[in-house]
Structure 1
Amino acid sequence: MVLVLNRTYFPEGTQGTLEWNGTIVCYTIELPWLHNQQRVSCIPEGEYVLQKRFSPKFKWHLHLRNVPGRDLILIHPANDAKTELLGCIAPVTKHTGIGKGSSSRKALEKLKALVYVALERNEEVKISIQSKK
């Protein structure tokens, strides 16, 4: 399974559309592209393997493996990239501004429902991050 994240970059943040098989799963918000600087930039475009992860703060969420120059890049709930993200990706149900969205927890539940089923079938799940054409 390969999810495709199409990004649009702005100086204040990064907006995305996350699709599977050509159907929109959710939208995303991220920090702006600042040359992959830790904790202040979104991650580089590329393909990353996803895995389930649990933490007391975010409960069950997703972890992107082997991001160059970065560690612990997650997909977790947040509605404001600038105040709630340190390089991670937040799913949202709609964009409300640059780097801002709404109903992030609801969007994460929808994404997890899709991804966790594939992982339970022992399928490899990847996310392909690219610039919107």
Structure 2
Amino acid sequence: MKKQRPVNLDLTTISFPASASASILHRVTGVAMFFALVFVIWAWAVSLSSPEGFETVKSVMQSFIAKFIAWGTITVLTYHILGGLRHLVMDMGHWEELESGNTSAKVTIALWIVLAVVAGVWLWF
């Protein structure tokens, strides 16, 4: 029996609303934070072990890759907090309509981009 239904395998043609993108991004940043904890816990453990350990972490943090990982960690944490606050407001009964939900998602993503740039400037300069 052949089913006559449309099949769309080209994912680039699918357009998500801003609220869907914000929700998916919130989940992705949650997973990314889990993996970023490996770097954060290592840095805390080594830096608090001794003065030499602190100097080791300090010297490692001077490299481009370490700064990029730190910036990524800060950026992921920032979006996850902003997205979480957005979801909390929605849980209280606000921004649940389609228009206000999309607007709050766009504002959240725009604020995240601004804060990511600020974090990058702060970290590299």
Q: TM-score, normalised by structure 2?
A: 0.26
Q: Which has the larger radius of gyration?
A: 2
Structure 1 or 2: larger strand share?
1
Q: TM-score, normalised by structure 1?
A: 0.25
Greater RCO structure (CA 8 Å; 6+ sep):
2
